[in-house]
Amino acid sequence: MPDLLDERTGFVRRIGLFQATAINMSQMCGIGPFVTIPLMVGAFGGPQAVIGFLAGAVLALADGLVWAELGASLPGAGGSYVYLRQAFQYRTGKLMPFLFVWTAMLFIPLGMATGVIGFVQYLGYLWPGMSQAQGDIVGLVVTAGVLVVLWRRVENIARLTVVLWTVMIASVVLVIVAAFTHFSPERAFTYPAHAFELTSHHFWIGFAAGLTIGIYDYLGYNTAAYLGAEIKRPGRTLPRAILFSILGIMAIYLLLQVGTLGVIPWQDMSDPDNAASSSVASAVLEKSWGKGAADAVTVLILLTAVASVLAGLLGGSRVPYDAARDRVFFRAYGTLHPRHRFPVLGLLTMGGIMAVGFLIGRHTDLTTIIQLLTTVMVIVQALAQIAAVSVLRRRQPQLRRPYRMWLYPLPSIVALVGWLVIYGYADLNSPGRHPVEWSLAWVAAGVVAFLLWARHEKEWPFGPKRISEEYLHGPDPAEEEKAAG
């Protein structure tokens, strides 16, 4: 079948279901669970920490259905940018898509920075004498290497992502098998006193922290949606890729969490002075199969970390491209590489912010970076997209919806409550860091930047609203592909 060019964006639809699912899962898993299991155990104060991963899965599934309906209906480059532009243009012009791009240029590379931090953290198991400065240099080299790998055509990257996805699956399966060959049910299921005391304030603070860590580990189920203009048959592919990746990662995480708790005492995981708190998977392998096996699987974990960063930056770099073409962002971001057809400036900018975020995270702590990227994301992306589903059903009832949210509006309500819990408890879970205040300050700065831009471009509120319903009246990608075939 010949390649299908999306005339709206200049991208070519080359990514199928398996590749889209692999891209999502590579971004979702990565180094995340290997570095956050100790954080989750510390938040709950015991092996009941598995509750955090279950709660994160429920929120991911509910929010994933939001992404599935929007992605199937509006399969454009940039994901959320397209959804918010279409839904909120009737009342606030281009404010919401502008704010999304403004915040995404921060929270997407911050998420990738945590993957590089995890890479250096696990490298410390193979390089025990690594200094702080050496770790910083390694992280910057990894960041540069990811940019070099992404400097090519998307179909080549998609094939590479499948290879790295295979490495990711191998690494987590090996850790799970090693854990269950030396599994102690008593260690995994012996809970401290009052572990499930639902009337305790401590339990709910731990639950909110665990939910934040849990959803951080699941983030990435939306990566393929950012590549919507490059997905084959997006009306079918995107919903399936989202749901398959969430269910697959949920099974992996639960086995990984329970398995590690059955090998390493939870007290060791939550002790920052214990080696198991920084490289728990390597500790499981060493205790189960010896140092040689632990070293070998640690190498696979490092490759998994690279796969996650690669997939995340691949999707994120597309976000400012569509905005620039609509003149809602700097016009230079609307240029594709003449030969390889990827957004050059978006990739370079996010790579630079990722490098800065990595250095900041290395000299503060991982939890702070997770809280900051999550709170910034919640305001403009998560909550706004939940509203966008209902707004578009009312404003554009004739829009093609190859997938409609199951049990609407129940998943939207579940997602709304989950994101509000995360946002409301962010400051309590990060004393002295003030992630809520920083997120509000960043959004407020974005509003000021939007007003300055709107005045210069004579857009609303300094000019008329420009309504564009190109997905309502444009060609159906599925029909175009049938015609091309």
Instruction: Kindly report, residue by residue over 91-114, the tens digit of the pLDDT.
Output: 999 999 999 988 888 888 988 898
According to the model, what pLDDT value does residue 448 have? 94
Q: How far apart are alpha carbons 348 and 377 in whole angstroms? A: 21
Which residue do the tokens 């309500």 mark? 413
Decide if pLDDT at 325 tops 90.
no
Q: 60-80 pLDDT, tens per residue?
A: 999 999 999 999 999 987 788
Spatial distance between the Cα atoms of 389 and 360, rounded to a whole number of angstroms: 36
Distance CA 74, CA 68 (A): 10
Confidence of residue 482 (pLDDT cuts 50, 70, 90): low
The pLDDT value recorded for residue 431 is 66
One-letter amino acid at 475 equals P
Strands 4-5 and 12-13: antiparallel
What is the predicted pLDDT for the residue at 215? Answer: 92
Confidence of residue 168 (pLDDT cuts 50, 70, 90): confident
Assign 5 a pLDDT band (cuts: 50, 70, 90): very low
153-164 as b/e, with b when 16 or more CB fall inside 10 Å? ebeebbebbbeb
For the cut 90, the answer to whether the pLDDT of residue 262 exceeds it is: yes
Section 340-353 average pLDDT: 85
Q: Does 432 score more than 60 pLDDT?
A: yes
The percentage of the chain sitting over the pLDDT mark of 70, rounded to a whole number, equals 93
pLDDT of residue 166: 84
Residue 456: which H helix or E strand, with range?
helix 435-457
pLDDT at 424: 86
The count of residues in the chain is 485
Average pLDDT over residues 352-358: 92
Residue 450 to residue 426: CA distance in whole angstroms? 27
What pLDDT was estimated at residue 1? 36
Per-residue pLDDT at 206 exceeds 50: yes
Tokens coding 345: 């400036």
Q: How high is the pLDDT of residue 2?
A: 41
Please say whether the beta carbons of 353 and 106 come within 8 A.
yes
Task: List, as own/partner pairs, every contact residues 94-98 make where C-beta atoms lie below 8 angstroms and the sequence separation is at least 24, other chains included.
Answer: 94/326, 94/328, 94/450, 94/454, 94/459, 94/460, 94/466, 95/447, 95/450, 95/460, 96/380, 96/384, 97/323, 97/326, 97/328, 98/323, 98/328, 98/329, 98/446, 98/449, 98/450, 98/453
Greater confidence (432 vs 127) lies with 127
- 431 vs 377, more confident: 377
Please state the φ and ψ torsions of residue 461, each to the nearest 5 degrees.
-90, 10
pLDDT band of residue 247 (cuts 50, 70, 90) is very high
The token pair that represents 144 in the structure block = 């540069």
The pLDDT assigned to 7 comes to: 46
The DSSP-derived string for 210-252 is: HHHHHHHHHTTTTHHHHBGGGBSSHHHHHHHHHHHHHHHHHHH
Q: What is the pLDDT of residue 235?
A: 92
Global confidence as pTM: 0.85
Structure tokens at 367: 């939890």
Instruction: State yes or no: pLDDT of 154 exceeds 70.
Output: no
Q: What confidence category does residue 456 fall into, taking pLDDT thresholds of 50, 70 and 90?
A: confident
The whole-angstrom separation of Cα 56 and Cα 33 is 12
Mean pLDDT of the residues in the chain: 86
The answer to whether residues 223 and 315 touch, using CB atoms and an 8 Å cutoff, is yes
Q: How confident is the model at residue 474 (pLDDT cuts 50, 70, 90)?
A: low
- Over 90: is that where the pLDDT of 406 sits? yes
Q: Which amino acid is at 395?
A: R
Structure tokens, 309: 């960063």
Query: For residue 58, what pLDDT is reported?
Result: 96
